[in-house]
Amino acid sequence: MNKHYYVAIMAGGIGSRFWPKSRTSMPKQFLDILNTGKSLIQWTYERFAAFIPEENIFVVTSEDYEDIVAQQLPQLNKQNIVTEPSRKNTAPCIAYISYKLLQKDPKAALIVAPSDHVILDVETFKNTCLKALNFVTQIKAFVTLGITPSYPNTGYGYIQHDTFSVAEGIYKVKTFTEKPNLELAKTFLASGDFLWNAGIFVWQVNNIIKAFEKFQPEMFDLFENEKALFNSTKEKEAINRIYPLCTNISIDFAIMEKADNVYVMPSSFGWSDLGTWNSAYENLEKDYLANAVVGNNVIIIDATKCMISATDNKLVLLQGLDDCIVVDTQDVLMICKKDKEQEIKEYVAEVKRIKGDIYL
């Protein structure tokens, strides 16, 4: 294994679209959403540990989840759990871990990846990541992994790339597009030069910090002025000073859409964002009526194409439902149509308005 290869697993989100299973106190990355016996972050760690030195694997998460990460990943050095005092999206998170690594290893090449994705073909994923790491160590470049789309999904971002490659399987990025409407998504799919944005990035840390200096100078100054304290006993104090002043912005908007040295690798390794109950439904086995069930105490009568997640300590009987999401927890039962899943965030906001934070 290359001692200069690192990974930062981002695990600070609250997964509100998986409510009521995912809660603020225990969000989806720490849950066994697909009933596999392991949480999503445990699967993510194992994928990277196959080709990244374990001492080079870092998890960036909220202060609230530090103990959960330590409990679920006991093999992870506690110094490799990097905690944020507040959620400021992915750009400050990436600036933070990049500065830490630059102080530790100026030659560090970094993969930044979410903690909650499903990847079925781990060998192809490993080879793709290693190819990207090798590319960014040879050329001053930012690489993102793009997924060859199989249908016009409106919940993903899209990446358009040049038709000619700069190296085998690597293309210059032309445009980034946030979640399109259905007609636009169909056009993207038909064109053949658009990919789903997997949100997995690869670069050398010294180059991403230079990009912060160019495109996010205010954020760059905040971290640059405190960098001598990183990896010391005063790091936490420094971060507590920096974060309140950081802009809440994604790395896509902050850097990727502005830089001219961004490349994409079209990839197929059984990827799913696992961002919604429908994506969980797509990744689960179905019964003969096309129902996906997580739970050992569910009886289905005359129900079809439903996504059901239930606890085992109570019997759940469903009759007559079609195309629904049914999630039963200790204190909340949610039933909604599958085509309304993008509105679950709005339902959570309504619960908060009426009931406060007790069910969040």
What is the rounded CA–CA span in Å between residue 201 and residue 98? 13
Give residue-wise pLDDT tens across range 325-359.
999 999 999 999 999 988 898 999 999 999 999 99
Q: Mean pLDDT over residues 315-323, rounded?
A: 96
Portion of the chain with pLDDT greater than 90, in percent: 84
Which residues make Cβ contacts (< 8 Å) with residue 252, sequence separation at least 6? 90, 157, 176, 197
Give residue 157's pLDDT: 86
Residue 322 pLDDT > 80, yes or no? yes
**Inter-residue contact 275 to 282 (CB < 8 Å):** no
Residue 10: closest CA among 292, 235, 155, 198: 198
pLDDT at 115 over 90: yes
Give yes or no for a contact between 149 and 241, defined as CB atoms under 8 angstroms apart: no
HSE-CB of 125 using CA atoms within 13 angstroms: 23
**150: which 2 tokens?**
């199989």
Reported as a single tens digit per residue, the pLDDT across 180-216 is: 788 888 888 888 788 999 999 999 999 999 999 999 9
Rounded CA-CA distance 279/274 in Å is 5
The more confident residue out of 163 and 130 is: 130
The answer to whether residues 194 and 214 touch, using CB atoms and an 8 Å cutoff, is no
The yes-or-no verdict on residue 154 having pLDDT over 80 is no
Confidence category of residue 120, pLDDT binned at 50, 70, 90: very high
pLDDT score for 191: 81
**Domains in the chain, start-ordered, CATH in brackets?**
5-272 (3.90.550.10), 277-355 (no CATH)
Tell if the pTM clears 0.85, that is, is over it: yes
Report DSSP state, residue 18: G
The Cβ of residue 298 has, within 10 Å, a number of other Cβ atoms equal to 20
